[in-house]
Amino acid sequence: MTAMPAPVMMNVRQRRIGDKLAIVVLGFSVFLIIAILAVILGNVAIHGAGAVTWEFLTQPPRDGLMAGGIMPAIVGTAALVILMSIAAVPLGVATAIYLHEYTPAEGLSLAWKRFRVSKGRPGRRRLFFRAMSALLATITRSAVANLAGVPSIVFGLFGLGFFIQFIGRSIDRATQPPGEVLWGQGSLLWAACTLALLTLPTVIVATEEALRTVPQDLREASLALGATQWETIRRVVLPGSLSGILTGAILGISRGAGEVAPILFTGAAYYLPFLPGDVTDQFMHLGYHVLILSTQSPDVEATKPLLYGTVFVLLALTFLLNLTGVIIRSRTRSKANR
Amino acid sequence: MPMRHFDREIEHLKELLLRMGAMVEDQIAESIRALLERDTAVAERVIAGDSEIDRMELEIDQHTIELIAMMQPAAVDLRFVAAAMKITPELERIADLAVDVCERAIELNREPQLKPLVDIPRLARNAQDMVRQSLDSFVRRDAVLAREVIARDDEVDSLTEQSFRELLTYMLEDSKNISRAIRLTFVGKYFERIADGATNICEMVVYLAEGKVIKHSNESA
Amino acid sequence: MTTMEIVTPAPAATAVPRPPAAAPAKIEVRDFNFFYGESKVLHGIGLDIPEKQVTALIGPSGCGKSTFLRSINRMNDIIAGARGEGLISIGGQDVYAPDVDVVTLRRRVGMVFQRSNPFPKSIYENIAYGLRIGGIKDRRVLDETVERSLRRAALWDEVKDRQNASALALSGGQQQRLCIARALAVDPEILLMDEPASALDPIATQKIEELVYELKSNYTIVIVTHNMQQAARVSDRTAFFMLGKLVEYDETRTIFMNPGEKLTEDYITGRFG
């Protein structure tokens, strides 16, 4: 065999230049992002830090929102986030567990095909249930995917139409004296439910990812020791994926904490003389407060400091949530590897 | 570290070999006794006991092959098993030679003694010693002792020659001596071959201890 | 991951020729076939695995030996489309009978996998896992059982002072012995080992082999190995599989010194595979 002529290669110098160019471009993008972030945060910090006083944080607003503090909004936001988490996280985690652990691995088309060709053979009923389970999983997954793409204002309208007017009013008709409206109006409860729907996809996807990181070996080891599937999930899979699940939950929660559109029609109010006492009460909300201050204020200049202050508090809360997430994640991760 | 399963198998093989060696030494001792004391009963017992030695040879053979197939011994362990495989038939041949001695003894006992035996007993004791020492050297994996035993073989050869020359004179003297003299010559030959067997065993011991093959070299007898 | 097909056992086929077992058979297999979906991967397997001995399953890759092993404790159930037909009975009880509780079966039949898979928990908790599932909470019972299992797996001396350390901090060989201890903790009758030493270095392998040799006085062991010499060193009986069929099954010394089938001999001598 004759030797092949050596292929003509680009000289090393050219390739090195390409390499360096990539670093420069990528570095510049990073710099750009950081710069933008710095500008936004800097702007807020400069104008808002001054307004954040003890009075600001602990007093309700006065003079038609032009003075005073934002304490009710803080309380309302906190209450909302807590209720939303209670609604979203267990449901999301449970759904993800079902999708990942209990769904037939072969997928819908294969499961259906196996069922079809099994005519007359034993075990047909079992194959049927497998196929149905695969169908349910497919439907659930596409529902989750679509849900993730819905604009947040649509969630708000859904919350109004379904939770408040349909369910809320039905409950009122059944439980309240005629004409009385208790459940059929905007409240913490319905706002939390609406927000929960919004954050569900995030929680589900992140939880499934976390479950996926648990190696199949461990499940097999547990089953081989005579554990049932649920015992395996409870004792091996969940503890092993806890950090990922928590991350996903906190990601969802911090996203939901900042959303304003879904709560517009479902319970947020721009001024309330009292703090929300139970789940049927309306509430004030930091994000909503920002909207009101920037659009409804009679004297824009006077309320500017208050506006910046509110934004500052809102961002601080978001960062606090994310930081908590990071801390929890790193601690559960290190605990698992001890 | 506790003894491995493999080490136990090797130990077992060694025990079997030593047991066989002890039995062979016994046979040699008894055959000498049968010859010198002119005791036919002892000779017959030796002949009968040979079948047990044959059985042991087969058992050890089987054992060594199994050990190789199942345990894949390496290095010194492999040399040990190889040595065991070669020493066993050597021991069996030595035992057969003792039987041959006894057969001649029985024949000699039917006739009056030709002469007081001097050389042959010396020859016999040498061969007996060499066998015992060769087995000792195997147990202790002592190549030095093994080489000493190999060196003694020359002495045994010259004793055999000496004994033969003496018996030759008896044969030339009187034709009635011939049959007894010839039988005694055979006996001398048998003991010489027993000594050769012992040196073969010692060559195996050197291989086991040092990994060196001295068979057919100028170090061997 | 739902359970797999349960098919009523086929009627006892004509006896598959097998050499008489010296000990009472613990596991009886008659005309066992196995399918992954449409493809048949085990054909008419029949053999008797004797009690308290080590039986090795050897054969080239993909010959079905691991599949067969996993059929004994029905670990194949978790694989989609897996289906077994025929008889596997343990102590006289058909493993695939409709009323068999797989969870109980898997306590009686322990399994050790090719790559060690300790839980990301402490050494103690790994071994106590099987007990806790069984509802045992008494600290004393747990302590005793953990110690006994670690001793049986020849790991006690090495870890007795750090039972609360993470299992993942152990070396590969130690982790595998931990998995063995974990399996032993629930006191199974049978131990299935799927190439337990294939991911280990020679020293660790030798320790595992020595351990198997010690364990057989108390447990019936079935070990799959692609290392023929390991099968020769460790087992009493050996079964040679090829392309999903049982080619030969006999005492180990016969298989390795004078096998009956030419295929077996070709494999043992390395002429293929």
Q: Does C232 touch chain B (CB under 8 A)?
A: yes
Cα–Cα separations (whole angstroms), residue C173 to A76, C126, C233: 57, 16, 19
Please tell me whether residue C245 adopts helix, strand or coil conformation: strand
d(CA B40, CA B104): 10
Chains C and A touch (3+ CB pairs under 8 A): yes
For residue C163, pLDDT over 60 is answered with yes
Find where tokens 């073989």 sit.
Answer: B153
For residue C202, pLDDT over 80 is answered with yes
Q: Which ranges of B114-177 does DSSP label H, i.e. alpha helix? A: 119-140, 143-173
pLDDT tens digits for range C15-48: 333 344 445 678 999 999 999 878 899 999 999 9
d(CA C68, CA C88): 10
Measured between beta carbons, the chain C residues lying within 8 angstroms of B4 are: 206, 210
- Helix or strand (DSSP H, E) at A31: helix A12-49
Please tell me whether residue C239 adopts helix, strand or coil conformation: strand
The arithmetic mean of pLDDT across residues C235-261, rounded, is 94
More confident residue, B63 or B116: B63
pLDDT tens digits for range A36-49: 999 988 988 888 88
If you measure CA to CA, which chain C residue comes closest to B73?
Answer: C233
Mean pLDDT score across all residues of chain C: 88
Measured between beta carbons, the chain B residues lying within 8 angstroms of C213 are: 5
d(CA C69, CA C63): 12
Nearest CB partner across the interface for A123, out of C5, C37, C107: C5
State the CB neighbour count (10 A cutoff) for residue A188. Answer: 25
Helices B119-140 and B75-109 cross at an angle (nearest 10°) of 160
pLDDT for A295 equals 85
Q: Are the CB atoms for A223 and C75 separated by under 8 Å? A: yes
d(CA B188, CA B182): 10
If you measure CA to CA, which chain C residue comes closest to B3?
Answer: C210
CB neighbour burial string for B186-202, b if at least 16 within 10 angstroms, e if fewer: ebbbbbbbbbbbbbbbb
More confident residue, C10 or C183: C183
More confident residue, B212 or C129: C129
For residue B140, pLDDT over 80 is answered with yes
pLDDT for C12 equals 41
d(CA B125, CA C218): 53
- pLDDT category of residue A14 using cuts at 50, 70 and 90: confident
CB–CB contact C233 B71 (8 Å): yes
State the CB neighbour count (10 A cutoff) for residue A209. Answer: 16
Residues 194-253 (C) with a CB less than 8 A from some CB of A: none
Please name every residue paired with C131 in a beta bridge, in sequence order, or none if there are none: none
Mean pLDDT score across all residues of chain B: 92
pLDDT for C5 equals 43
Nearest CB partner across the interface for A231, out of C7, C8, C133: C133
Q: What is the DSSP letter of A167?
A: I
Closest CA to A165 of A195, A190, A148: A190
For residue A338, pLDDT over 50 is answered with no
Please name every residue paired with C220 in a beta bridge, in sequence order, or none if there are none: C190
pLDDT tens digits for range B103-139: 999 999 999 988 888 889 999 999 999 999 999 999 8
